[in-house]
Structure 1
Amino acid sequence: MNYRNEAENILEAIGGQENIQAMTHCATRLRLVLQDEELIDQKRLDDMDIVKGTFSTAGQYQIILGTGIVNNVYRELVAITGIEEMSKDDVKQAGSKKGNPLQRFVKMLSDIFVPIIPAIVAAGLLMGIHNVFTATGLFIDDASLIDVYPHLEDTAAMINTFSNAAFVFLPILIGFSAAKRFGGNAYLGAALGMIMVHPDLLNGYGYGEAIVNNEVPVWNILGLEIERVGYQGTVLPVLVASFVLAKIEIGIRKIMPAALDNLLTPLLTIILTSFITFVAVGPFTRSAGDVLTNGIVWLYETAGFVGGALMGVLYAPFVITGMHHSFIAVETQLLANVMVTGGSFIFPIAAMSNIAQGAAAIAVIFITRNKKMKSVASAAGISSLLGITEPAMFGVNLKLKYPFVAAIIGSAVASAYITFNQTLSVALGAAGLPGIISIRAESIVHFIIGMAISFTVTVILTYLFSKRKKNQIANQEEQQAA
């Protein structure tokens, strides 16, 4: 393959060197931030054998080339344009400045939560393993494994400790990531998170009971009664507090003499932010976070399978716009309070949507006669079943339209089923076939049935819609001939 020629063709199709604001690549895709995406010659890109698909998300235009090809094409693009090689973070930063306020807000949430997902996933999966030991009726009628095998009780208790850590100390993880995203010192953000879960504070999980018993401890400072309560398992308080910390730190550094900067800036930043957090930010955002989470749970429980079906329809469009990243904050809150909420209903619905998109792409393999589309659909379909849907949606389903419609219907039917059966997850993870290990033990069977429904309904509808489309085309051709 002549990578230089391919790079030149791609460069011309995206509007030339002048249209490139930033570029990098990942394992399979060129990731470009363009000045004006209207200048793209989409048909020319689609006709290139080397291009397996394209899509635009989070301010980046991404061209799917495949492993082993993308790095060679990228190297030639760098040589042709003279643009310096950039990291994915640099390109993300450039892309985050594009889009409307809502898109930028969603991108901000993504930048904060995506880096900490591995820790949350690990903790959630450990919680799932703990459930295997303690769930009644999973392996034995009216009994759990530790009821029958008491010697496993300490093993289950140890795993439970491991699983709780990331959620109990969640503000530390979020504080580090959020402070970094907002332009502050990440370690000061982590220190703020530590303060918010300090053992001297009343544990946040016991706050409700303390209010009922009128036993909330307070600090009496300057005539103020400040509640001495921790923020274990919360999301919104530390997010806002980290934003305040970053802005205070930046402001202090602007006026602080260089000789005193390292000494006084961290001190003043931490003491001012901590005071503001416990006096105002924490109490207000704790209430706001509880209202948001309780509202979503209420809607889920009240709307039932109808609400599940609606979310099954909307999840894929949310992915197209990138708004699905905003769910991470809500899911994290649901999982952090799993003893109250039971888990997250968003992850199972996301899995139904991803399975449906993969099923539609796989169905296209047997429907289309276009060899390039077959190739793209096969790889994209498998990827979607494993939880990565963008190649299937942008490379196949949205291009042909009818597979996408079939997929959102299949997702809706499956989501209605799992919602009716209260299928919840105890972890984040790959929202697809591997997602089984993230589901509550008592819900696994319903989750598997839901995936089967999503796949089957989507494949059948994709086939029927393709027949209908072919008939419409044939009728149009006959009318034109007449």
Structure 2
Amino acid sequence: MSDNKQIAKELIEAVGGRENIHSVAHCATRLRFMIHDKEKIDQERVENTDKVKGAFFNSGQYQIILGTGTVNRIYEEVDKLGINSTDKSEQSKEAAKEKNTFQRAIRTLGDVFVPIIPVLVATGLFMGLRGLVMQEQILALFGMTPADISENFLLFTEILTDTAFIFLPALVAWSTFRVFGGTPIIGLVLGLMLVSPALPNAWEVATEAEPLYFLGFIPVVGYQGAVLPAFFAGIIGAKLERAIRKRVPEALDLIITPFLTLLVMIAAALFIIGPIFHTVEEYILQGTLFVLDLPFGIAGFLIGALNQIIVITGVHHIFNLLEIQLLEKFGNNPYNAIVTSAVAAQGGAALAVGLKTKSIKLKALALPSSLSAFLGITEPAIFGVNLRYVTPFVMGLIGGGVGGFAASLLGIKGTGMAITVIPGTLLYLNGQILQYILVNIIAIGTAFVLTWLFGYSDKKLKDVETA
């Protein structure tokens, strides 16, 4: 504890002291400072502080990489020292003032979808486990065949794997209301209305059922698994709720505001927003499939090579929407297998640096950073090691491209999203585990060999230290 307290003091001094800090927050791996004057930051002192794996400006915040677990403890010490702390969402709003319109839109998309991802991760793991236990080879170990599996057991697995996607509009509308300043419970109910059992089920309409027709030409169906209709209904609904609340007497607010908000928004969502954005969603999905289906592994190479560049820019949250669509429509996610290669390769590059360097400090930074990447978190490896010496990062991009190329050729597809490399193995238990391991070995091995041979020598360490 005393070590963390000392580190907190050093970091406060290194970023220009208390008077230079507007606020501080943290995420899973980084301490995030809002700074008054960037010129007062001593970058070298920050990076040389114990347990720091890198530091950089992004999204209007000075972000110091500390790693999972460590960041929580050091944040507590910073908070105890009386620094103005705030939560990440509040700080993101402040930071958003410094972004352009596109960056703000992507950040908003991330703020909406990131809280939903843990549920989708769990659903993906359930899909993987079901795929594992239903394999004939696994059942044979217990003297069983697929015919021996009871209908009740299959029903239980369907509850685990289907529920999140059936009620996905409710999750999206809830989160969108929360982000845009509405009452989340109103958003939740609006989303549930979009999947009401009274409406024709969207999946059944896609096969044999007929939609309802209002005014003779407006098709109305449930929106099971839909994202964009709930997202835009949530944005408009939250703004409508706030507008109504400003005009309704306080004594009637509890009754009138939710009543009018839900009445207007369910009509708009079913008759206007839903049909329009469900069509847009289908075009986005078809565009995604077109790219992923490019021949000769082209898509895998391009996505694998460019993914970590996109992560650095902070606009990678837009791909959450695409992954959710793939999982909802097909129950699998080829994008995850490609992205895994990009993540693993950065870990391979950092591992090569850590094993090749004679610097004790760089070893102590690079080796744990590579492990972090193999657990799916690349920021320590990228910002702490690879990007600092440039060529390891480039070799990691090449490794990601080669691994992604292999993933596309092998046609492997995860059962979920958001977890990669070692944790990601749980998404490939449905007969794809060997191919998945091979893809990771290819990505790591390519990046490691290229970095060892061409990407790093201790001369770079001296160049960076004297720069």
Q: TM-score, normalised by structure 2?
A: 0.90
Q: Which residue of 1 aligns with 2:32?
A: 31
Bigger shift: residues 90-99 or 186-195: 90-99
User: Does 2:172 match 1:174?
Assistant: yes
Q: Which residue of 1 aligns with 2:112?
A: 112
Q: What residue identity is the alignment partner of 1:350? A: V
Bigger shift: residues 430-439 or 22-31: 22-31
In 1, distance between residues paired with 2:4 and 2:319? 40
Q: How does 1:399-414 map to 2 (within 5 A)?
A: 399-414=388-403
Q: How does 1:376-455 map to 2 (within 5 A)?
A: 376-439=365-428, 441-455=430-444
Q: Write the deviation string for residues 415-460 of structure 1: whole angstroms up to 9, x where unpaired.
A: 0011111111111242121101113623322111100101111110
Contact 1:304 1:420 in 2 (8 A): yes
User: Does 2:454 match 1:465?
Assistant: yes
Bigger shift: residues 149-158 or 268-277: 149-158
In 1, distance between residues paired with 2:53 and 2:241? 46
Contact 2:174 2:184 in 1 (8 A): yes
Contact 2:134 2:146 in 1 (8 A): no
Q: Which residue of 2 aligns with 1:218?
A: 213
In 2, distance between residues paired with 1:227 and 1:17? 59
Contact 2:174 2:185 in 1 (8 A): yes
Contact 1:424 1:440 in 2 (8 A): no
User: Does 2:21 match 1:20?
Assistant: yes
Q: Write the deviation string for residues 163-189 of structure 1: whole angstroms up to 9, x where unpaired.
A: 111111111111111111111110111
Contact 1:355 1:433 in 2 (8 A): no
Q: What residue identity is the alignment partner of 1:432? A: V
Q: How does 1:205-284 map to 2 (within 5 A)?
A: 205-209=203-207, 215-220=210-215, 225-284=217-276
Shift of 1:330: 1.0
Q: Which residue of 2 aligns with 1:48?
A: 49
Identity over the aligned pairs, expressed in percent? 35
Contact 2:7 2:50 in 1 (8 A): no
Q: Which residue of 2 aligns with 1:295?
A: 287
Residues 424 and 267 from structure 1, CA distance in 2 versus in 1: closer, same or farther, beyond 3 angstroms? same
Contact 1:422 1:443 in 2 (8 A): no
Shift of 1:78: 4.9
In 2, distance between residues paired with 1:5 and 1:333? 46
Q: Which residue of 2 aligns with 1:192?
A: 190
Contact 2:213 2:219 in 1 (8 A): yes
Shift of 1:259: 1.3
Residues 123 and 38 from structure 1, CA distance in 2 versus in 1: closer, same or farther, beyond 3 angstroms? same
Shift of 1:161: 2.8
Q: How does 1:80-95 map to 2 (within 5 A)?
A: 82-95=82-95
Q: What residue identity is the alignment partner of 1:426? A: T
Q: Which residue of 2 aligns with 1:479?
A: none
Q: Residue 115 of structure 2 aligns to a residue in which SS?
A: helix
Residues 38 and 417 from structure 1, CA distance in 2 versus in 1: closer, same or farther, beyond 3 angstroms? farther
Q: Residue 61 of structure 1 aligns to a residue in which SS?
A: strand
Shift of 1:199: 0.8
Residues 231 and 8 from structure 1, CA distance in 2 versus in 1: closer, same or farther, beyond 3 angstroms? same
Bigger shift: residues 46-55 or 170-179: 46-55
Contact 2:133 2:139 in 1 (8 A): no
Task: Give aligned pairs, total.
Answer: 461
Q: Write the deviation string for residues 378-403 of structure 1: whole angstroms up to 9, x where unpaired.
A: 21111110001111110111011121
Q: Any stretches of 5+ residues in structure 1 without a counterpart?
A: 475-482
Q: Which residue of 2 aligns with 1:125?
A: 125
User: Does 2:333 match 1:317?
Assistant: no
Q: Residue 86 of structure 1 aligns to a residue in which SS?
A: coil
Q: What residue identity is the alignment partner of 2:122? A: A
Contact 1:60 1:95 in 2 (8 A): yes
Cα RMSD after superposing both structures: 2.9
Shift of 1:244: 0.9
Residues 418 and 140 from structure 1, CA distance in 2 versus in 1: closer, same or farther, beyond 3 angstroms? farther
